Amino acid sequence: MLESNDVSVTMRILITGGAGFLGSHLCDRLIGEGHEVICLDNLFTGRRKNIAHLLDNPNFEFVRHDVIDPFKAEVDQIYNLACPASPPHYQYNAIKTIKTSVMGAINCLGLAKRVNARVFQASTSEVYGDPLVHPQTEDYWGNVNTLGVRSCYDEGKRCAETLFMDYHRQNDVEVRIVRIFNTYGPRMLADDGRVVSNFIVQALRGDDITIYGEGNQTRSFCFYSDLIEGFARLMNQDEVTGPINIGNPGEFTMLELAEKVIKLTKTKSKIIHLEMPQDDPKQRKPDISLAKKHLDWEPTVQLEEGLERTIAYFKSDLGL
Ligand code: NAD
Ligand code: UDP
Could you say which of 3.40.640.10, 3.20.20.140, 1.10.10.10, 3.40.50.720 is the CATH number of the domain covering 12-185+223-249+284-300?
3.40.50.720
**Residue 6 scores a pLDDT above 80:** no
| Cβ(18)–Cβ(41) below 8 Å | yes
Q: What is the pLDDT of residues 263-272, one digit of tens each?
A: 999 999 999 9
Report in angstroms the alpha-carbon separations of 229 from 3, 101, 184: 20, 23, 14
Distance 190 CA to ligand 2 centre (A): 15
Q: Is 313 a catalytic residue?
A: no
Q: Mean per-residue pLDDT for 240-254? A: 98
- If pLDDT is split at 50, 70 and 90, which confidence band does 8 have? low
- 203 touches 267 (CB < 8 A): yes
Ligand 2: which of 254, 271, 282 to mutate, most ligand atoms within 8 Å of CB? 254
CA-nearest of 38, 34, 4, 36 to 18 is 38
Q: Does residue 134 carry a pLDDT above 90?
A: yes
Note every long-range contact of 273-278, with CB atoms under 8 Å and residues 24 or more positions apart, other chains counting. 273/211, 273/212, 273/213, 273/214, 273/215, 274/210, 274/211, 274/212, 275/212, 275/213, 276/212, 276/213, 276/217, 277/87, 277/149, 277/212, 278/148, 278/149, 278/150
Report residue 251: phi and psi, to 5°: -115, 130
Q: pLDDT tens digits for 270-314? A: 999 999 999 999 999 999 999 999 999 999 999 999 999 999 999
pTM equals: 0.97
Pocket test for ligand 2, best of 145, 194, 198, 248 (most atoms within 8 A of CB): 194
CA dist 151 and 184 (Å) reads: 22
For residue 207, is pLDDT > 70? yes
The mean pLDDT of 101-124, rounded to a whole number, is 98
Residue to mutate (ligand 2; options 124, 210, 212; most atoms within 8 A of CB): 212
Across 282-301, b (16+ Cβ under 10 Å) vs e yields: ebbbbbbebbeeebebebeb
For the segment 147-188, what is each residue's pLDDT rounded down to a tens digit? 999 999 999 999 999 999 999 999 999 999 999 999 999 999
User: Once rounded to an integer, what is the mean pLDDT over residues 140-152?
Assistant: 98
Peptide bond into 135 cis (omega under 30): yes
Return d(Cα 198, Cα 314) in angstroms, integer. Answer: 11
Q: How does strand 77-80 pair with strand 12-16?
A: parallel
**pLDDT, average across residues 215-224:** 98
Say whether pLDDT at 231 is over 80. Answer: yes
Q: Which of 224, 214, 150 is nearest to 186 (CA)?
A: 224
Ligand nearest to the CA of 127: 1
For residue 3, what pLDDT is reported?
42
For residue 320, what pLDDT is reported? 86
Q: Which of 128, 153, 167, 224 is catalytic?
A: 153
How high is the pLDDT of residue 9? 83
CB of 23 within 8 A of CB of 81?
yes
Fill in the amino acid letter for 10.
T
**Beta-ladder partners of 37:** 13, 60
CA nearest 2: which of 167, 120, 116, 119?
116
Q: What is the pLDDT of residue 2?
A: 39
**Cβ–ligand 2 contact at 195 (below 6 Å):** yes
* Mean pLDDT computed over every residue of the chain: 96
Q: Is the CB of 218 under 6 A from ligand 2?
A: no
Q: Is 258 in the pocket of ligand 2 (CB under 6 A)?
A: no
Residues 6+ apart with CB under 8 A from 169: none
Identify how many contiguous H helices and E strands the chain contains and give both numbers: 9, 13
Which is the closest atom of ligand 1 to the Cα of 123?
44
Question: What whole-number distance in Å separates Cα of residue 168 and Cα of residue 111?
Answer: 13
Domain spans of the chain? 12-185+223-249+284-300
Q: Whose CA is nearest to atom 1 of ligand 2?
A: 195
